[in-house]
Chain A
Amino acid sequence: MYEIVMPQLSDSMEEGKLIAWKKHLGEHVNVGDVIAEVESDKAIMEVQSFKAGMLSEVNVKEGDAVPVGSVIARIDTGAKESKAHEPKKVEAKEKPVVKQVKVQETVASVKEEPKEEPHAVVKSGHTAVHLKGGISPKARAKAAALGVDVAKVMTKNANQTVHAEDVDAYAKERYFTPKARKLLQAYHLDSSLFVLDHKIDSDEVQHYIDTNELSLPKALTSMQKAIILNVTASAAKPTFHIYESIDAALLEKHTQHSITAWLVKIFAKVMMQHENFRAKLLENAISIAPNASLSIAVADDNNLYMPVIKDANKLTIDEISKQLAAFKKKLQSSSFSAEDMQGGSFGISNLGMLGVKRFDAMINRDESGIMAIGGIEDGKISITLTADHRLINGYEAALFMNDVKKELREPLNFKD
């Protein structure tokens, strides 16, 4: 008599669940034959017999869990001899003519169940369905939580491992109308937020969104990402501000060019007298640009660009105006090139035409500073300098502001 025990299939296994019997009571078993399937703490595994004979006793029902080491079956090895390593015997088996050849052994358990297959092979619904492909534990748990039939998801994803997202996708397809699905997708909602016992339409999803006041997630465009990087880097700079105002009399007199255009011209001139306003910080050095190039903030309600007017100190007011007009066009068609944005060392941001009185601006990329221009009030315009303190100190900044104010009162600058 050979005892088959609930096998230990891993070091951590303490009990095992009998999933299915693969041999029936009274059937002949060869060495190596699988007689049962058992669920360990890790997987469903096959239990082989290492001896040949007749399955004469079965002690565990399908679905039952018993401790490792308990005898789950006995094999009557007297019933038929078979060699250890030669499982492929010419089969004289097949006819377990038996009925009850040997009435157990001595021991107590004289079970007098009649031959007609005792408890063992009750084909209950839950016996493991073997499908191709696999399913992750997370997906299995999700399917259970949603009440989704695992087999259906697996059939749908035949031969591929089913993941939690597949279960979600399956649930969405089955329980949501196409419009409702679109909403779920827009708001990144999971199917498990809903009770899946009816077809769910977009009204129901919208109702959920409204009652929970969910906000609509919008992905960043690559331009937005670039701006975020730029602004974040800018905020990390050590800066200080100088708040001043300038005399607008001459600007108001020469309206054939915009205030921005005139300021570009004048700032460029003053920058040529203050080299740190043309400076750029390198790793172990400061590089001073030979000419004054200014970046100009241009924006619509989505994007902000800082295209550069290069060598503005060499340009006439007409040329500057033309470039500003070109920037406006490029803004409308979102067609700025990387080249347009390069080479500046100081910036201008003008919100004055939008009625903003005073503000400060953030320095663009690796420039030295930026001037924020407010609107005209009582013949004055507020200007706020934000300067990178690593390049420009307060004294020089003050001199720069004074020079700007002086140049704006000089009619000769407003020629040509």
Chain B
Amino acid sequence: MNKLEAENIYFEMVRGRAFEYAAKEHYMQGDISGFLHLDIGQEALSVAAVKAFEKGDIFSTYREHIMAMARGIEPSAVMAELFGKASGVSGGKGGSMHLFEPSHFFYGGDAIVGGHIPNAVGCAYARKLQGSEDGVMVIFGDGATNGGAFFESLNNAATQKLPLLFLCENNGYAIGTAITRAAPFKEQVKKAEPYMLTYSVDGMDAEAVYNVVREAQTKIQEGHGPIFIEAFTCRFEGHSVSDSNAYRSAQEMEHCKAKDPIEHFKAVLREKYLLSDADISTLEEKAQKEVDDAVTFAKAAAEPEVDALFEHVFAEEV
């Protein structure tokens, strides 16, 4: 990545974290309802992967606010969606878990664990038939790899040589269940090894994630077929705002937070890209400002009309 890209990625990571804290605050104040899954601690992965997968379609899980913004969806549209407002990216009817914006090729947010993986396979199939070279990326958690649909997806993608990038965010937990209690090994990449080319990467290192996703996308665009990447990461918060996180010890949390991807990347900016502290502060302030504006926007935005309940229920005729 070049200096501009690095700055941009740092900006998006910081903005993502500020956004998540703002969302948490407003959830607690009752402005946001439904579920809320925060991505704090996983920003490097969410931002760098999306940025690296420049073109193409992206499918993601319910922990997707930061990815949606990294795809170019406005923070105000995402925050308004969380607030359930009409100007939200999904018209206020999807909420935190369903941020959907086809014009950005972002089909993110699926409440069903692993439910979006077969959808991504279908999309990759369609893209292949259409002769598109951009490829499809599907992002999912370690827990999702224990489902049957996951294995069927690997199998289909590999058999059909689909242009599909599987990106597993291994944060070690499915809600409160440690992955080693639900699978016989920590590395979920082992599940994909017999099917396709695989990579493992430190998900707390934005540069590493960026490079590996870039490499994979290039290969996919050259007709290589599906690729699997596992990125090891760590979430700083509970699974959702309703999760007390009591299953992780203070020591484990300390260990986890010591690997803060923002702190890590900040050091990279200083050393490798020679940004000054002032440059960094400017980025941080701008990020915070965007989030504050998004909250102001979301608060003031209008509720959906009652009639909106009847929209998007059935596919529209073309």
Tell me, in angstroms, the Cα distance from A13 to B249 when the chains sit together: 26
Note all chain B residues with C-beta closer than 8 A to A196: none
The answer, yes or no, to whether B14 is at the interface (CB within 8 Å) is yes
Among B25-33, B49-57, B199-207, the stretch that binds chain A is B25-33
The answer, yes or no, to whether B35 is at the interface (CB within 8 Å) is yes
Known: A11-B35, A45-B242. 4 other contacts (CB 8 A): A8-B27, A43-B244, A46-B244, A47-B28
Note all chain B residues with C-beta closer than 8 A to A68: 30
Q: 8 Å CB contacts to A: which residues of B14-56? A: 14, 17-18, 21-22, 24-25, 27-30, 33-35
Tell me, in angstroms, the Cα distance from A69 to B57 when the chains sit together: 40
Note all chain A residues with C-beta closer than 8 A to B244: 42-46
Note all chain A residues with C-beta closer than 8 A to B21: 50, 84-85
**CB-based contact B243/A43 at 8 Å:** yes
Query: 29 interchain pairs (CB within 8 A)?
Result: A5-B28, A5-B29, A7-B28, A8-B29, A8-B33, A9-B241, A10-B241, A11-B34, A11-B35, A11-B242, A13-B242, A40-B242, A42-B242, A42-B244, A43-B244, A43-B246, A45-B242, A46-B244, A50-B21, A68-B30, A84-B18, A84-B288, A85-B14, A85-B17, A85-B18, A85-B21, A85-B284, A132-B249, A134-B247
Dominant secondary structure at the A interface: loop
Q: Output the least CB separation between A389 and chain B (Å).
A: 47
Q: 8 Å CB contacts to A: which residues of B122-181? A: none
Which listed residue, B17, B25, B28, B246, touches A134 by the CB 8 Å rule? Answer: B246
Tell me, in angstroms, the Cα distance from A87 to B210 when the chains sit together: 28
Note all chain B residues with C-beta closer than 8 A to A85: 14, 17-18, 21, 262, 284, 288
Note all chain A residues with C-beta closer than 8 A to B24: 48, 50
Note all chain B residues with C-beta closer than 8 A to A132: 249
Chain B CB count within 10 A is highest, among A11, A44, A47, for A11
Q: 7 shortest A-B CB distances, which residue pairs?
A: A7-B28, A10-B242, A43-B244, A50-B25, A8-B30, A45-B244, A69-B30
Note all chain A residues with C-beta closer than 8 A to B247: 134
Q: A7-B28, A68-B30 are in contact. Are A43 and B242 (CB under 8 A)?
A: yes
Note all chain A residues with C-beta closer than 8 A to B29: 5, 7-8, 69
Chain A CB count within 10 A is highest, among B24, B29, B246, for B29
Note all chain A residues with C-beta closer than 8 A to B27: 7-8
Interface residues on B, range: 20 to 34
Note all chain A residues with C-beta closer than 8 A to B262: 85
Note all chain B residues with C-beta closer than 8 A to A47: 28
Note all chain A residues with C-beta closer than 8 A to B25: 50
Contact with A along B282-310 (1 / 0, CB 8 A): 00100010000000000000000000000
Q: Nearest chain-B residue to A45 (Cβ)?
A: B244
Contact with B along A73-85 (1 / 0, CB 8 A): 0000000000011
Q: Nearest chain-B residue to A42 (Cβ)?
A: B242
Which listed residue, B18, B22, B28, touches A9 by the CB 8 Å rule? Answer: B28
Tell me, in angstroms, the Cα distance from A132 to B29 when the chains sit together: 31
Q: 8 Å CB contacts to A: which residues of B232-250? A: 238, 241-244, 246-247, 249
Q: Output the least CB separation between B261 and chain A (Å).
A: 13
Chain B CB count within 10 A is highest, among A9, A69, A134, for A9
Q: Nearest chain-A residue to B292 (Cβ)?
A: A84
Contact with B along A29-47 (1 / 0, CB 8 A): 0000000000010111111
Note all chain A residues with C-beta closer than 8 A to B243: 43
Q: Output the least CB separation between A134 and chain B (Å).
A: 7
Note all chain A residues with C-beta closer than 8 A to B242: 9-11, 13, 40, 42-43, 45
Q: Nearest chain-B residue to A69 (Cβ)?
A: B30
Q: Output the least CB separation between B29 and chain A (Å).
A: 6
Tell me, in angstroms, the Cα distance from A13 to B25 when the chains sit together: 16
Contact with B along A51-78 (1 / 0, CB 8 A): 0000000000000000011000000000
Note all chain B residues with C-beta closer than 8 A to A44: 244, 246
Chain B CB count within 10 A is highest, among A5, A50, A68, A69, for A50
Q: Nearest chain-A residue to B22 (Cβ)?
A: A50
Tell me, in angstroms, the Cα distance from A13 to B240 when the chains sit together: 14
Tell me, in angstroms, the Cα distance from A134 to B246 when the chains sit together: 9
Note all chain A residues with C-beta closer than 8 A to B28: 5, 7-9, 47
Q: Nearest chain-B residue to A132 (Cβ)?
A: B249
Q: Nearest chain-B residue to A48 (Cβ)?
A: B24
Tell me, in angstroms, the Cα distance from A84 to B18 when the chains sit together: 8
Tell me, in angstroms, the Cα distance from A407 to B247 when the chains sit together: 81
Contact with B along A5-24 (1 / 0, CB 8 A): 10111110100000000000
Tell me, in angstroms, the Cα distance from A154 to B20 when the chains sit together: 36
Q: Output the least CB separation between B252 and chain A (Å).
A: 12
Q: Output the least CB separation between A202 and chain B (Å).
A: 41
Q: Output the least CB separation between A399 and chain B (Å).
A: 60
Tell me, in angstroms, the Cα distance from A10 to B35 when the chains sit together: 7
